[in-house]
Amino acid sequence: MGRLSTAGRRHRRLVLKAAAAAGIAQIGAPFIIKARGEVPIKFGLDDPLTGTYAELGKNEQMGCEYAIDQINARGGILGRPVQLIVEDSTSADTGAAVQKARKLIERDKVDFLLGNVNSAMALAIGQVSNELKTLHIVTGGHTDAVTGKDCHWNVFRVCNTTRMETNSVSKVLFDRYGKKWFFITPDYAFGHTLQLGFEASLKKFGGVEAGAALAPLGTTDYSSYLIKAQAADPDVILFLTAGQDAVNSLKQAVQFGLNKRFHIAGAQQELEVLEGLPPDARIGTWVFEWYWDQPNVPHVAEYVAGIRKKAGRVPTARHWFGHVAVNSVALVANQEKTLDAVKLARALEGFKLPPDVGLMPDTPFYRAGNHQLMPDLYVGHAVAQGPRPDDLFHVDQLVKGIDAALPVSETGCRLTWA
């Protein structure tokens, strides 16, 4: 089953130690429950804690833990305490992620499965959760197929599809920066479908693909790909990398001076990446999936303060993914008064997130036809240094998810119920 990192083993020991001390396995503050000694309701998080996507996975975990703290303080789920069990999927070993999913469901007996950041892993563990008839919320794996051709009745997704990401930003790039695009693409499911989405936009608008470079996950030296991009002489270089790969590729692009000749852009961008870049590399046009600076949106300030108190930093979209995933299940379970996976999946179809969970101007909801959350998307540009610490992105335009998403009929999703 793949070895955990030292940090991962330490985390698991701490969780088990806390469980023994409390008499139940819990994460978070003390909670109020209707009956002492109740068997806890278990969430299993299968997410990267090591490798390229480690920071993203850890922030999703933090978002889950914060949500569980709040849920337990309110009485848990069906009057029972809630527990989070975490496994390190790694960032690149899909086999390990599958083994961890099976362990969580079959040995740890989790009631619900969460994860993964890596799109290939999200697809693979979705097959496991479907086989084992376990309700599964994909937190941060974006590739279209999760809620497209490989959709399942038991799988719902919080983060956007790659096509939602590309559709929300393509017209801006085409109109403002030019019609000739070059792609630097991570060579796995996430990167492939992002590039396909942008290529569909180019075809629609009458643009030109100048070329593409496929880079393996975990690449540290992007020089050969950047030289290829420069030689293609595009109007826009689209960086489709994520996590530490995005940090490395953008930092090296600035070292090569590509930002002085070409517009730098992409689709999904993360606060974690911008924080990991030197100020001069915080450049380009991007899409954020949630942003912490929303002064006119109810409950956002309280959420930011809560995460800041727990984590010592402002929340990112990854914290929000974990927050939404756990709360979605808790809310619908308490509403339906059951843990039955089929009944809860039926109830989640069309389910609207309340304002203190959605935390955005429009009300996010799970689309019934393919179980994809329809949130707002934040299109804007990175800034070297904002007016406040951690304010490294300027939102230029808000796009409704339902407007950016393909119709269900074009996603390839055909739900078959258990």
* pLDDT tens profile 51-109: 999 999 999 999 999 999 999 999 999 999 999 999 999 999 999 999 999 999 999 99
In a domain, 110, yes or no: yes
Q: Are residues 87 and 99 in the same domain?
A: yes
Q: Which of 172, 385, 393, 389 is nearest to 289 (CA)?
A: 393
In a domain, 366, yes or no: yes
Rounded average pLDDT over 266-295: 98
List CB contacts of 374: < 8 A, sequence separation 6 or more: 364, 365, 366, 367, 400, 401, 402, 405
In a domain, 88, yes or no: yes
Q: Are residues 175 and 148 in the same domain?
A: no
Domain of residue 97: give its range.
6-160+298-374
Q: Are residues 111 and 170 in the same domain?
A: no
Q: Are residues 39 and 154 in the same domain?
A: yes
In a domain, 412, yes or no: no
In a domain, 413, yes or no: no
Average per-residue pLDDT for the chain:
93
CATH for 136: 3.40.50.2300
Q: Are residues 97 and 186 in the same domain?
A: no
Rounded average pLDDT over 236-261: 98
Q: In this prediction, what percent of the chain has a pLDDT beyond 90?
A: 90
Q: Are residues 250 and 136 in the same domain?
A: no
The DSSP bridge partners found for residue 373 are 366
Greatest CA separation found in the chain? 68
Q: In this prediction, what percent of the chain has a pLDDT beyond 70?
A: 91
Place of tokens 């790694």: 90
Q: Are residues 352 and 325 in the same domain?
A: yes
In a domain, 411, yes or no: no
Q: Are residues 57 and 174 in the same domain?
A: no
Q: Count how many domains the chain has.
A: 2
**What whole-number distance in Å separates Cα of residue 172 and Cα of residue 359?**
25
Counts for the chain of helices (H) and strands (E), in that order: 15, 14
Q: Are residues 302 and 275 in the same domain?
A: no
Q: Which of 232, 222, 214, 225 is nearest to 178 (CA)?
A: 232
Q: Are residues 135 and 186 in the same domain?
A: no
Q: Are residues 245 and 367 in the same domain?
A: no
User: How does pLDDT run across 15-26, given as a tens digit for each residue?
Assistant: 433 343 333 333
User: How does pLDDT run across 222-238, given as a tens digit for each residue?
Assistant: 999 999 999 999 999 99
**Which strands make up the sheet holding 112-114, listed edge to edge?**
82-88, 41-47, 112-114, 135-138, 155-157
In a domain, 351, yes or no: yes
Q: Are residues 248 and 355 in the same domain?
A: no
